[in-house]
Amino acid sequence: MDLGIKGKVAVITGAGRGIGRACAVSLAKEGVHLGLNELDTESGKQAVEEVKALGVDAILVPGDISKEEDVIELFKKTYERFGHIDILINNAGISPKLPFYEITAEMFDKVINVNLKSNFMCSKEAFKYMKDNGWGRIVSLSSLAGVMGGIKSAAHYSASKAGIIGITKTLAKQVGQYNITVNCVAPGRIDTAMTRMLPESVQAELVAQIPLKRFGQVEEVAKVITFLASDGGSYITGTCVEIFGGYTG
């Protein structure tokens, strides 16, 4: 199935591993060129090599996307390389796990800055380029914790992911006139490095709550994101797609 995005250019934050890396590979398979952001330079370089092997061009722009100057640099360098920016995948995030009464104001600010403020800044920067194109796709990563509240996830993480849903719905209303769609996905229990760090007993407990009786794979999330970023998702906007494996809380 041709998704109609060959030759488009996507910016992906946190593209070095997990869902971000899977998105880079999925979009590369559709012929999308990539401006990849990653704080860890080594994993970012590996992602660039992997997608280039699929026949597309890609650059790595290392940086901390909670800092406005790094966000501006990411988009500036991507535009200089490719001449247009069409797709933004807001993926970067952190997920510390601790009880809410142990969260300091400094910890709270850090999670909000990395997960939510960066989403706002990247979306704002992307809009500058997409508006002139008359075409754009913004897809952000929310979470099960943002939809239902966190049990294992911490309060500041849940708040940041709920905020992403709010930003998504608001931006969709405000930028639709420019043929830009804005959506988010909310993955549930996905097999990532962070999930594998949990004790086996906790992992088994979580799997038991999922009707499909398994964790999701990063590739399964990436396929949904790729569809939302394509011509196939042209009339989907302001939506949060839940990828929970049937879990209803």
Report if residue 106 sits inside a domain: yes
Q: Specify the pTM.
A: 0.96
Report if residue 107 sits inside a domain: yes
Report if residue 136 sits inside a domain: yes
Report if residue 203 sits inside a domain: no
The verdict on whether 235 is a catalytic residue reads no
Report if residue 197 sits inside a domain: no
Report if residue 199 sits inside a domain: no
Domain tally, the chain = 1
Report if residue 86 sits inside a domain: yes
pLDDT at 17: 95
pLDDT at 195: 80
pLDDT at 136: 98
For the chain, give the DSSP string. Answer: ---S-TT-EEEESSTTSHHHHHHHHHHHHTT-EEEE--SSHHHHHHHHHHHHTTT--EEE----TTSHHHHHHHHHHHHHHHS---EEEE---------GGG--HHHHHHHHIIIIIHHHHHHHHHHHHHHHHT-EEEEEE--HHHHH--SSS-HHHHHHHHHHHHHHHHHHHHHGGGTEEEEEEEE-SB-SHHHHTS-HHHHHHHHHTSTT-S-B-HHHHHHHHHHHTSGGGTT--S-EEEE-TT---
pLDDT at 167: 98
Catalytic residue among 129, 157, 178, 235: 157
Question: pLDDT below 50 — which residues of the chain?
Answer: none
pLDDT at 150: 82
pLDDT at 81: 98
> What is the CATH classification number for the domain harbouring 69?
3.40.50.720
Give the pLDDT confidence of 24-55 residue by residue, as tens digits: 999 999 999 999 999 999 999 999 999 999 99
* Domain, as residue range, for 226: 9-188+218-243
Report if residue 206 sits inside a domain: no
